[in-house]
C-alpha cells in the first residue's frame, strides 16, 4: 500500500488488524489465525461486539475507495510491465 501511495487504505487495514487482533500480530498460518479471531457471542441478546462495530465502519470506508485503489494498481502494473501488451494501442 505504501508503494502504491494508498495511505488511507493502509490505515484502514491497520485499524482492521487492531480490531481483530488487538493483543498480537495475526498469525500467518490460516488455521492458527482462525483460532484466535473473535467470534460472535452465543447469546443473541448480547450487545454487538466492539470489533464488529469497528470492522463495519472500516468496511464502509474501504468500499468508498478513498485511494482509488483500482486505478493505482492499474498504474503500478503498467509502470512495472506486469500487464502484457498494456502499452500497445
Per-residue pLDDT of the chain (89 residues; tens, 9 = 90+): 999 999 999 999 999 999 999 988 999 999 999 899 888 888 989 999 999 999 999 999 999 999 999 999 999 999 999 987 665 55
pTM of the shown model: 0.81
What length does the chain have?
89
State residue 47's pLDDT score. Answer: 93
Q: How far apart are CA 10 and CA 72, in angstroms?
A: 13
CB 20 within 8 A of CB 51: yes
State residue 26's pLDDT score. Answer: 93
Could you give the angle at the alpha carbon of 28 between the alpha carbons of 27 and 33, nearest 5°? 45
Amino acid at each position: 500500500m505504501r508503494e502504491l501511495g494508498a495511505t488511507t487504505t493502509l490505515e484502514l487495514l491497520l485499524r482492521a488488524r487492531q480490531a481483530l487482533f488487538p493483543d498480537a500480530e495475526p498469525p500467518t498460518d490460516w488455521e492458527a489465525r482462525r483460532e484466535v479471531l473473535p467470534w460472535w457471542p452465543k447469546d443473541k441478546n448480547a450487545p454487538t461486539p466492539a470489533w464488529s462495530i469497528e470492522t463495519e465502519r472500516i468496511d464502509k470506508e474501504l468500499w468508498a475507495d478513498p485511494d482509488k485503489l483500482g486505478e493505482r494498481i492499474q498504474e503500478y502494473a503498467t509502470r512495472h510491465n506486469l500487464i502484457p501488451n498494456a502499452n500497445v494501442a
